[in-house]
Amino acid sequence: MPDVAVVGFAQAPNVRSTPGTTNGVEMLVPIFAEVFERTGLSKEDIGFWCSGSSDYLAGRAFSFIAAVDAIGAFPPIHESHVEMDAAWALYEAWLKIRMGEVDTALVYGFGKSSAGQLRRVLTLQMDPYVVAPLWPDSVSIAGIQARLGLESGLWSEKDLAEVAARSRADAAGNPAAQLSGTVEVAELLDAPYFADPLRAHDIAPITDGAAVLVLASAERAADLVDSPAVITGIEHRVDSPALGVRDLTKSPSTAAAGRALDLDGVEVAELHAPFTHQELILREALGLGDQVRINPSGGVLTGNPMFSAGLARIGEAANRVLDGTARKTLAHATSGPVLQQNLVATLEVLS
Amino acid sequence: MADLAGKSRTCFTQDVSAPELPLSAPLNVGFDYTRSVGPVLGRFVDALRERRVEGVRGSDGRVHVPPLEYDPVTAEALSEFVPVASEGEIVSWSWIAEPVDGQPLSRPFAWALIRLDGADTSILHAVDAGTPSNVHTGQRVRIRWAEETVGHIRDIAYFVPADGPDTEPTEAPPPVAKREEGAPVSVVITPIHLRYEHSASPEESRYLRGLAEGKLIGQRCPSCEKVYIPPRGACPTDGVPTTDEVELPDTGIVTTFCIVNVPFLGQKIKPPYVAAYILLDGADIAFLHLVLGCDAADVRMGMRVRASWKPRDEWWTSLENIGHFEPTGEPDAPYESFAHHL
Ligand SMILES: [Zn+2]
């Protein structure tokens, strides 16, 4: 089976709100053009298209259909969609190439979180019988998870603030980031709680955004870019949707996905952690030591475009390989409440 | 969520202070989700209706509350029900200072995972505790039942400290459970309502603002030169935004149509009537509208039609300004002239 490589990645600026439509067209058209320019490909060269987005985020049925206009889908194209983060759309595209059906694929994700009330919209990811009818919001659920770790001594409020401060400092080098800059940990800890025990800095911002990533078979990739970022492993697992069954201070599904991969020699990891404590859970689940550089992009604490943020982690991890700053990187994406579903991939220069 | 569309309503208003911004308007969608409960959740909600809580025993012996239909580890179907207490302790919690729509209380409260006595896993629910200083992990809490129980998770209104009195509920949307009197619950209904600020694209906004002045504004794709009305955020052939403005006449042809004979919820016109695709003269895409002013049986593909506008004082940023299209009496357009638009 052919290896699959990332040959191009682009993302729209992560912003608190855009005046555009919920179908993402305004955000997608420019970044499609950007990856085509970077790879020298045109839409006619793309064998398979796959996207991730959500009708609930858009507030309209079949919202992803309208986004297809951004492609210029005539003559008809080979297209698919997942109602999850577009990292899972990437998985579907990866399979298409592995199976030899196509040798290029374009994956995109988009979301206008600002259109609705995000933490309430996300309630509808939860069990529809005994959880969602109570309308628990995503931030409160994460707060329950954070307290479990705080009270059992796994992490402190200072540990969480340090994650936030490092993320914002790193985001200074990321032109797409929504938040960035130098902040003192002590200053962060002086802020009031937003959802005790979480403060604003513990919570990823509400972000509108989109991302696009181009995959090619390793053979085709060699013609397109100097050092393709080959996906040497990709795994995804899921934990029980029943919140009270899981030990919420751990991520068994991330650990299981990581165990199925060879993580030796990973230099950089892009982790999809929408809450500060979730970065600590993920690092532990993946066994990432201090030698691994975490989220040099700033991560989703500095910009969290729903349904493309996980894909963007893969894009950022691929970029470190594409630009030669790392030989092996790890990307993680999550979907669902409190790290329910997790995808882990490794990307490498193939010598 | 296809069903949501039927209940949505969008009303665009123009913000004159910022004429360049796309039009936007509140969009509220809602739907009462009707779900079959099945044997496990059915028994759980049935018990709630009688102010009792039942869990289910997992393959490892743990008692799950709320019950799980399948074991989270072995995926084995679970069916051994175990009664548990309506009192237990807080495993973890967070504080919500400003509750959002639909939550169990509209005053500040704690969300908590609560392990009921006799259970091994925990249930997520609200705790009415007044202030965060009144909540702690390990705290004993008990169920504050709803005034009327119907067989739904919201029969548990929320929890209160075990040694405290019942507090008064704040208003919450009513869940419904359909059943014959005394019969087990087979279905639960949960109303889901979401609010959005919906934005039209810049191209659609030009079109909608045009309608408010009685103009039909299409836009031309700079690449393939096709004229779209309503204009598109991107040409579906070329993937580039349509840009050049084209004012179109209010005459055109019927490309295809159907005669609506079936009455349905929300219908504004008495059947039979004709819903047709209208291709305006100079446009490359047809849009859906009504053809009235003649017998439904006389409507034909290729028939020439003209817009029948409502009185000017009823115009707004909507295609509703055209009440319907009606025949002009001119000769029909030949099939070949519109075959490629079908
Ligand atoms: Zn075009």
CA A121, A122, A127, A131 dihedral sign is: negative
| CATH classification at residue A89 | 3.40.47.10
CA A212, A218, A219, A225 dihedral sign is: positive
Terminal Cα distance for chain B, rounded? 28
A324 and A268 together in one domain: yes
CB contact under 8 A, B152 and A133: yes
- The set of residues, in sequence order, having a beta carbon less than 8 Å from that of B246 and lying 6+ positions away, is B217, B218, B219, B220, B227, B282
Contact residues, B window 224-263, toward A, CB-based 8 Å cutoff: 232-241
Res B11: pLDDT: 45
Cα–Cα distance for residue pair B133/B150, rounded to 1 Å: 33
What is the three-class DSSP state of B175?
A: coil
Using a CB-CB cut-off of 8 Å, the residues of chain B touching A43 are 239
Angle at B210 between CA B8 and CA B321, to 5 degrees: 55
Res A188: pLDDT: 98
Res B173: pLDDT: 67
Given pLDDT bands bounded at 50, 70 and 90, which one contains residue B15?
very low
Identify whether the C-beta of residue B25 lies closer than 8 Å to the C-beta of residue A21.
no
Chosen for mutation from B7, B64, B94 (greatest number of chain A CBs closer than 10 Å) is B94
A102 and A141 together in one domain: no
A267 and A344 together in one domain: yes
Res B19: pLDDT: 55
Beta strand pairing call for B109-116 and B87-96: antiparallel
A330 and A212 together in one domain: no
CB contact under 8 A, B199 and A19: yes
Identify whether the C-beta of residue A179 lies closer than 8 Å to the C-beta of residue A206.
no
Res B14: pLDDT: 46
Domain range holding A284?
118-204+232-349
Residue type at A10 in one-letter notation? A
A12 and A104 together in one domain: yes
Res A351: pLDDT: 67
Q: Is the peptide bond before B66 cis (omega within 30 degrees of 0)?
A: yes
Given pLDDT bands bounded at 50, 70 and 90, which one contains residue B2?
very low
**B196 inside 8 A of chain A by CB:** yes
Identify each DSSP E strand in chain A by its residue range. 4-11, 48-52, 79-82, 104-112, 193-195, 198-199, 208-217, 229-238, 268-270, 293-294, 328-335, 341-348
Query: Would you say residue B52 has pLDDT above 50?
Result: yes
Identify whether the C-beta of residue B187 lies closer than 8 Å to the C-beta of residue B34.
yes
CB-nearest partner of A243 from B97, B104, B124 = B124
Using a CB-CB cut-off of 8 Å, the residues of chain B touching A210 are none
A262 and A158 together in one domain: yes
Beta bridge pairs of residue B83: B54
**B63 inside 8 A of chain A by CB:** no
CB-nearest partner of B94 from A56, A130, A196 = A196
CB-nearest partner of B101 from A25, A132, A135 = A135
CA distance A220 to chain B (A): 25
Using a CB-CB cut-off of 8 Å, the residues of chain B touching A197 are 94
A190 and A287 together in one domain: yes
Beta-carbon-side half-sphere exposure of residue B114 (alpha carbons within 13 Å): 29
Our count of domains for chain A comes to 2
Res B183: pLDDT: 87
Q: What is the mean pLDDT of residues B180-185?
A: 84
A280 and A172 together in one domain: yes
pLDDT tens, per residue, chain A with 351 residues: 999 999 999 999 999 999 999 999 999 999 999 999 999 999 999 999 999 999 999 999 898 998 999 999 988 999 999 999 999 999 999 999 999 999 999 999 999 999 999 999 999 999 999 999 999 999 999 999 999 999 999 999 999 999 999 999 999 999 999 999 999 999 999 999 999 999 999 999 999 999 999 999 999 999 999 989 999 999 999 999 999 999 999 999 999 999 999 999 999 999 999 999 999 999 999 999 999 999 999 999 999 999 999 999 999 999 999 999 999 999 999 999 999 999 999 999 986
Q: Is the peptide bond before B230 cis (omega within 30 degrees of 0)?
A: yes
Chosen for mutation from B196, B204, B238 (greatest number of chain A CBs closer than 10 Å) is B196
Query: Would you say residue B17 has pLDDT above 50?
Result: no
CB contact under 8 A, A70 and B92: no
- The set of residues, in sequence order, having a beta carbon less than 8 Å from that of A194 and lying 6+ positions away, is A139, A200, A202, A203, B97
Beta strand pairing call for B53-57 and B81-84: antiparallel
A267 and A195 together in one domain: yes
Query: Would you say residue B6 has pLDDT above 50?
Result: no
A212 and A199 together in one domain: no
Q: Which two tokens stand for residue B2?
A: 């296809």
Residue type at A24 in one-letter notation? G
Q: What is the mean pLDDT of residues B225-237?
A: 94
A195 and A210 together in one domain: no
Q: What is the mean pLDDT of residues B123-137?
A: 97
pLDDT digits (tens, 9 = 90+) for A170-217: 999 999 999 999 999 999 999 999 999 999 999 999 999 999 999 999
Beta bridge pairs of residue A246: none
A214 and A311 together in one domain: no
B183-199 residues labelled b (16+ CB within 10 A) or e (exposed): eebbebbbebbbbbebb
Radius of gyration of chain B (CA): 29
| Count, residues in chain B | 342
pTM of this structure: 0.93
pLDDT digits (tens, 9 = 90+) for B253-307: 999 999 999 999 888 888 999 999 999 999 999 999 999 999 999 999 999 999 9
CA distance A133 to chain B (A): 6
Q: Of A163, A194, A229, which one is at a domain's C-terminal end?
A: A229
Surface-to-core class of residue A79, CB atoms within 10 Å of its CB (0-12 exposed, 13-18 middle, 19+ buried): middle
**B285 inside 8 A of chain A by CB:** no
**B169 inside 8 A of chain A by CB:** no
